[in-house]
Amino acid sequence: MVHWLPRYRVAWLRGDLVAGAVVAALAVPQALGYASIAGAPVEVGLYALPVALVAYAVFGSSRQLIVGPVSTVSVLSGSFLASFGVAGTAQAASYTAALALGSGLVLIAAGFVGIGWMAEFLSKPIVTGFVLGLTMLVILNEVPHLVGVPTPAGRVIERVGALGSSVTRGEADLLTVAVSAVALVVLFGGQRLMPKVPWGLLVLIGGLAASAALDLQARGVEVVGPVPQGLSAPGMPEVDPADVVGLLTAGAALALVGLAEGLSAARLFAAKGAYRIDADQELLASGAANVASGLFGGLGVAGSLSKTAAVSDARGRTQVTGLAAAALAVVVIVAIAPTLSALPRAVLSAIVVNAVWKLMDFSALGRYRRVRRNDIVAAAIAAVGVLAFGPLNGLLLAVAASVIGLVFRSTRVDVEIMGKVPHEKAAWGSIRNHPERSTFPGVMVLRLDVPLFWVTASPANDSILALIDSTPGTRALVLDLEATNQMDTTSADALADLRAALVQRDVDLFLVRVMWPVRQALRRSGLIPELGEDHLWHSISQGVREARRVHGLTDLPAHEAALAATGAPVIRPDGADEADEADDEEHIVARDPGPDPPDEPPLAGGRAAVS
């Protein structure tokens, strides 16, 4: 806890305090907007700020990450409020706090168990697509407030159609549209011209001033409404006991989404600052921030990429920035909060739209399309899933597609025929696209480029036997298992079956580069006693030399043996003696992959990776 404090330097204080003021200027108006996104009273967003910032400063592993209400968690929280039937009701604040508390408890439990690795299933393309879909939902939710029409219900397509009909029938309030247009122009134009100015805060102050001077509420412009003064007292949220299990389940979904966004931001700025992030500690810290927020009646929170970027730009170095922002947020809540009641709702919606607009990262989508087709497909599934089925179902759909893709790719067995690299004493590499690499008559050297486990075991056997059958005269198979660092019963039995099939073909099996855990598993399975310790070697060169010795095969590589059969002299430029190479350090040369294979299911029995 507070690991950064013993190394704190007084010279950093000024930058941290300035950064804290910048964060507060961004966070206060955004907290109001995110509370409205969540379908809860605006003070719920304010209550979350100070306690979450303090909790993360104490427990977090990032020096710069700013925790607070964020768009993704707010949208998901709002969708859960709607599912419980309390959105916009007097119970909305309690259920919102309960969701934050449930999310925090799930995160803390996960941190103690040490399953931070689960967040890795949310890949960058999935998170990008998920955030894109959420951003579109957020903007769609704010459009009615921007034009002064009732908020339609139903699915996305139905809501878009209803909004279009309202606007075309002239139901939009012109004064509300004018207020929205001014706010949006100032926010987007100001950030383009002077990006370091806290335009959100200036627009908020300007909106309050215009509302008071022009009496906008009396002229039909919707305002935020009453905002209570002071912090709420800590306590357990009051909810229907029948909803507790559902709230915990929904909290787990909030935890997953928030952790993905927070870890992404924390890792990005840790890489820039040359320090490391502890994923399990981040679970605990995010959990503590959410528990604190829930107990004080606040909204679910997560690490914010935009506010953390603002800290970096303002030269904030440590969590003193978060503590300073928390202190300023308390001042706002205690002294200024009631004045926010006159803020035009259109101004708040403009602040929300501006805050989430930059989250639509279309350039990242273009990069995914260029790098790998599966990445853009994953992003598209996440985005379309959110729009079509809601945030939670869209996220689960994207994760499921990612897991299925992972399992599918793990079944694509790649078996390489290896050859001796010319002019190298002990280097071996794939002969695919490299016909100059030497093979030895009667000895086939194969490398599995994927780990051998229960999914790949059978296809690997089929591919290996197909290569053996296609090469008459093979007396020994040297199988490189370097890619396999664990061994299960299924794959150990598959190796035993492979050996039995090779025996029927009068082919001897040698295993090389066998990791210690694999060796132990094979010994316990009974394969090594059956195979013999003299059939396990640390390097390919040693395995090939032993196979040639046992079977009395020629010392010459295949192409040199063919040359010698013609009576021509064999000249070796490097002067290396193949029989002595086992004593040298061995190098494995990666294959030249050539063009990318098509993304299609492998043929029955796997795909043999030979040219």
With 60 as the cut, is the pLDDT of residue 213 above it? yes
Give pLDDT, residue 435. 85
C-alpha separations of 84 from 72, 140, 396 in Å: 19, 21, 19
Among 184-198, 246-260, 399-413, the minimum mean pLDDT is found in: 399-413
Spatial CA neighbour of 574 closest among 420, 403, 432, 367: 420
Residue type, 110: A
Question: What is the torsion angle, in degrees rounded to the nearest 10, for the CA atoms of residue 463, residue 466, residue 472 and residue 474?
Answer: 30
Cβ-based neighbours of 227, under 8 Å, separated by 6 or more: 41, 42, 43, 46, 337, 338, 340, 341
Give pLDDT, residue 118. 66
With 60 as the cut, is the pLDDT of residue 586 above it? no
Give pLDDT, residue 123. 74
Give pLDDT, residue 49. 92
For the chain, the domain total comes to 2
Give pLDDT, residue 125. 85
Tell me what the mean pLDDT of segment 252-260 comes to: 83
On whether residue 95 sits in a domain, the answer given is yes
Banded pLDDT at 605 (limits 50, 70, 90): very low
Higher-pLDDT residue of 147, 404: 147
- 330-348, pLDDT tens digit by residue? 998 888 888 888 889 898 8
- The residue count of the chain comes to 611
Cβ(145)–Cβ(346) below 8 Å: yes
On whether residue 366 sits in a domain, the answer given is no
With 80 as the cut, is the pLDDT of residue 588 above it? no
Where helices occur in 224-333 by DSSP H, the ranges are 244-273, 279-295, 305-313, 320-331
Q: What are phi and psi of 89, to 5 degrees?
A: -105, 180
Residue type, 202: L
With 70 as the cut, is the pLDDT of residue 173 above it? yes
DSSP state of 608: E
With 90 as the cut, is the pLDDT of residue 186 above it? yes
For the chain, give the mean pLDDT.
82
Catalogue the E-assigned strands of 302-442.
Answer: 302-304, 414-420, 427-430
Give pLDDT, residue 422. 86
Give pLDDT, residue 1. 59
Does 209 lie in the same domain as 320?
yes
Share of the chain above pLDDT 90, in %: 28
Cβ-based neighbours of 189, under 8 Å, separated by 6 or more: none
Give pLDDT, residue 61. 87
Tell me what the mean pLDDT of segment 226-242 comes to: 87
On whether residue 542 sits in a domain, the answer given is yes
Give pLDDT, residue 253. 84
What sign does the dihedral 166-170-173-176 (CA atoms) show? positive
With 90 as the cut, is the pLDDT of residue 504 above it? yes
Cβ-based neighbours of 327, under 8 Å, separated by 6 or more: 20, 50
Tell me what the mean pLDDT of segment 32-50 comes to: 88
Largest separation between any pair of C-alpha atoms in the chain = 107
With 60 as the cut, is the pLDDT of residue 313 above it? yes
With 80 as the cut, is the pLDDT of residue 572 above it? no
Spatial CA neighbour of 42 closest among 62, 15, 69, 66: 69
Name the domain boundary from 321, 344, 359.
359
| Domain of residue 508, CATH code | 3.30.750.24
One DSSP character per residue, 230-251 reads SPPPP------GGGHHHHHHHH
Cβ(425)–Cβ(458) below 8 Å: no
Task: Copy the structure tokens of residue 43.
Answer: 């003070």
Cβ(389)–Cβ(398) below 8 Å: no
Banded pLDDT at 578 (limits 50, 70, 90): very low
Give pLDDT, residue 342. 87
Give the three-state DSSP class for 507: coil
On whether residue 146 sits in a domain, the answer given is no
Does 341 lie in the same domain as 466?
no
On whether residue 497 sits in a domain, the answer given is yes
Tell me what the mean pLDDT of segment 254-272 comes to: 78
Give pLDDT, residue 284. 92
With 50 as the cut, is the pLDDT of residue 302 above it? yes
> Among 552-556, 565-569, 571-575, which range has the highest average pLDDT?
552-556
Q: Could you give the CA distance from residue 575 to residue 535 in angstroms, rounded to a whole number?
A: 29
On whether residue 193 sits in a domain, the answer given is yes
Name the domain boundary from 342, 359, 376.
359
On whether residue 365 sits in a domain, the answer given is no
Give pLDDT, residue 582. 40
Question: What is the torsion angle, in degrees rounded to the nearest 10, for the CA atoms of residue 33, residue 39, residue 41 and residue 45?
Answer: -50
With 80 as the cut, is the pLDDT of residue 609 above it? no
With 70 as the cut, is the pLDDT of residue 142 above it? yes
Does 450 lie in the same domain as 313?
no
Q: Could you give the CA distance from residue 128 to residue 444 in angstroms, rounded to a whole number?
A: 46
Spatial CA neighbour of 67 closest among 250, 248, 329: 329
Does 354 lie in the same domain as 473?
no
Banded pLDDT at 590 (limits 50, 70, 90): very low
- 427-442, pLDDT tens digit by residue? 888 888 888 888 888 9
On whether residue 128 sits in a domain, the answer given is no
Map tokens 């996104």 to a residue.
37
Higher-pLDDT residue of 416, 317: 416
Give pLDDT, residue 436. 87
Name the domain boundary from 321, 337, 359.
359
Higher-pLDDT residue of 277, 421: 421
Does 202 lie in the same domain as 94?
yes
Does 335 lie in the same domain as 428?
no
Domain of 171 in residue numbering reads as 5-121+165-236+262-359
Give pLDDT, residue 577. 41
Banded pLDDT at 116 (limits 50, 70, 90): low
Q: Could you give the CA distance from residue 280 to residue 107 in angstroms, rounded to a whole number?
A: 9
Give the three-state DSSP class for 427: strand
Q: Could you give the CA distance from residue 150 to residue 400 in angstroms, rounded to a whole number?
A: 36
Give pLDDT, residue 4. 64
pTM of the predicted model as reported, rounded to 2 decimal places: 0.65
One DSSP character per residue, 77-88 reads HHHHHHHHT-TT
Does 424 lie in the same domain as 332?
no
Does 301 lie in the same domain as 192?
yes
Does 178 lie in the same domain as 318?
yes
With 60 as the cut, is the pLDDT of residue 170 above it? yes
Tell me what the mean pLDDT of segment 301-305 comes to: 87
Higher-pLDDT residue of 287, 127: 287
